[in-house]
Structure 1
Amino acid sequence: MRNLSVLVVIVTLFYSCSSDSNQEIINNTTEPNLIIKFKFNPTQERLNNFGEPAVISAGNAAQSPNFEKMSANYIEFAPTVNTLLGDGEIIFTGNETTQGGEVAIDFKNAIFAGDNETFLSIPLSQVSQGYYEWVRVSLAYQEGAINFLAENGNEYQGTLASFVGYNNYISSFNLNGSNIIVNENKLQGFWAFETLGLTIQGQAPEGATTVPNPLFNSSPVPQGSCVVTGSFENGLTITGSETSDIVVTFSFSTNNSFEWTEVNIDGKYEPSAGEQVVDMGLRGIIPSLSIE
């Protein structure tokens, strides 16, 4: 009965609003590679949709999820602030399918990476020579732990799966040992939550996901695309004569990225009190370079 009461409590978690093992695309040739790594940073600056510093809105509270893994469906290097989405150097595009009707990300073939893990490795010879100042990453999936306060006064932890890609065909997926069957397309904002072996799922409102884009005025992205944009500190130059690997680490800001409206002003997420989730989007990206 305790488990059932907790499930009833968390049904309001987002009311308002296959393979799951980590994979990576690795190139095993002896020539120098471009290596893409992920980093999840809960202390990195928190940005809004315009790439500007953002505080938590009055009347709201937030927490930084402990993310286990993420997936991306698109990576592009852009040379200037005026480079439109799709006109830069596209270095990765994930699998898509029409099995669910409209074109959608094929989740069963998605690639995952955890914190400080490699997501992609390709020969540098496949990247066009040039200077790149910006990176654009279309995120598809996030999975991690969040805390919530139940009606019984106890605090619990659960596992949240957020499908933040533009459209997602999901046959099934495993969430902390629970198999969830979907077999259809789900738009950005579909979520599932597991705690104490019990699961619920739902759909966040359209437009509820923050997608930081400092190039909002010169190079906008379509709503619902989840293309996060950030700049290299000193740019990225590909000469074509590299002899060592170039490692680009995408540091994603998870700083208070899970946000809700407060009913009880205590900083704890309490769905039983009617506190509603308002945002689950990452809060920025900072790409950095190293030579290996």
Structure 2
Amino acid sequence: MKFKSIILVVLLAIAFFSCDDNDDVKNAEPHLVMRFKFDATQPRLNNLGQPVAVAEGNAAQSPSFNAISSHYMELAPNANTALGMGTILYHAPETMAGGAKAIDFSQSKIVGENEIFLSIPLSQVATGSYEWIRTSLSYQNYDINILHQGTDYTGTLASFVGFKTYLTTHHIGNSSFPVNGNREQGYWALSVNGMPFSGQTEAGATTVPNPLYATSPIPPKSCVVTGKFATPLVITGNETRDVEVTLSLSVNNSFEWKEVHVDGKYEPSAGENVVDMGLRGLLPTYQK
């Protein structure tokens, strides 16, 4: 009898915890989940969202991405939705520590390809139909091919493409880059075999594809890349599962420089200057 009582207690405990687990699954709130993808085969677009070749006298390569960060994300119902008037999903921390408002790099969320960048309850997303999504990219970290004093290397580059970024000392591997201030869009730092390089592209040189330039322009230096869903993303408010969104970014010859030695190789020690580090297009997709 005592043995049967023990068995009964165990079975009841299993049933209790099984029900509890099932309730947790049933009551779990569905989320909107955002991930980034990098694709060197996507079209290479200009600021107007139109295909463009590498400028004459320049050379370019498709970097191998390690990580990325975004400063802002927004869903837009249609092509006439002004920036900021859609459903804002995310806005990264900012600071005045550098004397003017800037992205606080120390608080930036940095992720690799297919890692979750954003996950918010769908109850926080306004119901409706969304044709477009915008993401203001702020930081890129990738590997590129370098020629230095006749030898080929792989270097790692940190690219800051947000409107303005506040940095203390940032690092690439064992290389340190003390800044302690704001840097404008287009600041970059590069580590090649432990050798540090850094520089600044010209103002307005960073490509930011916006196919809605005619109906919904973006401010200068904002780096708000705009992409259209193949079919509108509809949020009903009755979702029972996560909505997974992938933001596929074109890295098709996205790292571009002015050639000194016309050989298609980036040679910073020869004075070959970076002219553009902007992403070259956005193709968003979703799964429900």
Is TM > 0.5 for Structure 1 vs Structure 2? yes
Task: Give, in angstroms, the shift of residue 238 of structure 1.
Answer: 0.3
Aligned partner (choices 28, 31, 34) of residue 30 of structure 1? 28
In structure 1, what is the equivalent of residue 121 of structure 2?
Answer: 123
- Superposed counterparts of 1:214-233, under 5 Å: 214-233=211-230
TM-score normalised by L of structure 1: 0.87
Q: Does 1:182 align with 2:182?
A: no
Unaligned residue ranges in structure 2 (runs of 5+): 1-26
1:72 to 70, 73, 81: 70
Matched, 1:95 2:93: yes
Matches of residues 131-170 of structure 1 in structure 2 within 5 Å? 131-151=129-149, 153-170=150-167
Among 265, 281, 284, the residue aligned to 1:287: 284
Higher deviation after alignment, 50-59 or 206-215: 50-59
What is residue 40 of structure 1 aligned with on the other side? 38
- Check conservation: 1:50, 1:213, Cα contact below 8 A: yes
Q: How does the TM-score come out when normalised to structure 2?
A: 0.88
1:70 and 1:189 map into 2 onto residues whose CA distance is 15
1:173 is matched with 170
Question: What letter matches 2:151 in structure 1?
Answer: N
Name the structure 2 match of 1:26.
none
In the aligned structure 1, how far is the partner of 2:90 from the partner of 2:45? 25
1:82 lines up with 2:49 in the alignment: no
Q: Which deviations, in whole Å up to 9, do the C-alpha atoms of 1:112-154 show, x marking residues without a partner?
A: 1111111010100000000000011101100111112123x21
Task: Give per-residue Cα distances to partners, 1:49-73, cap 9 Å, x unaligned.
Answer: 0000111122221101111000001
Unpaired segments ≥5 residues, structure 1: 1-28
Deviation at 1:212, TM superposition (A): 0.3
Cα offsets for 1:72-104 (capped at 9, x unmatched)? 010000011111100000000000111111111
- Which of the residues 246, 249, 267 maps onto 1:249? 246
Report the counterpart of residue 261 of structure 1 in structure 2.
258
Could you tell me which amino acid in structure 2 is paired with residue 173 of structure 1? H
Report the alpha carbon displacement of residue 181 of structure 1 after superposing the two structures with TM.
2.3
Instruction: Please report how far the alpha carbon of residue 195 of structure 1 lies from its aligned counterpart in structure 2 after TM superposition.
Output: 1.4
Q: Secondary structure at the match of 1:125?
A: helix
- Local SS of the residue matching 2:146: strand
Displacement of 1:201 in angstroms is 2.0
Residue from 55, 59, 64 that aligns with 2:53? 55
C-alpha distance in 2 between matches for 1:174 and 1:246: 35
Question: What value does the CA root-mean-square deviation take over the aligned residues?
Answer: 1.3
Paired residue secondary structure (1:247): strand
Q: Could you tell me how far apart the structure 1 residues matched to 2:195 and 2:265 are?
A: 21
What letter is aligned with 2:263? D
Deviates more, 1:104-113 or 1:169-178: 169-178
Q: Is contact 2:210-2:225 (8 Å) kept?
A: yes
Q: Partners of 1:177 and 1:270 in 2: how far apart?
A: 21
Higher relative contact order (CA 8 A, sep 6+): 1
Q: Percent identity?
A: 55
Q: Aligned-pair distance for 1:274?
A: 4.0
Contact 1:39 1:117 in 2 (8 A): no
Distance 1:89 1:188 in 2: 25
The alignment covers a number of residue pairs equal to 262
Matched to 1:246, the amino acid is: V
1:199 aligns with 2:196: yes
Q: 1:217 to 1:48 in 2, by over 3 A?
A: same
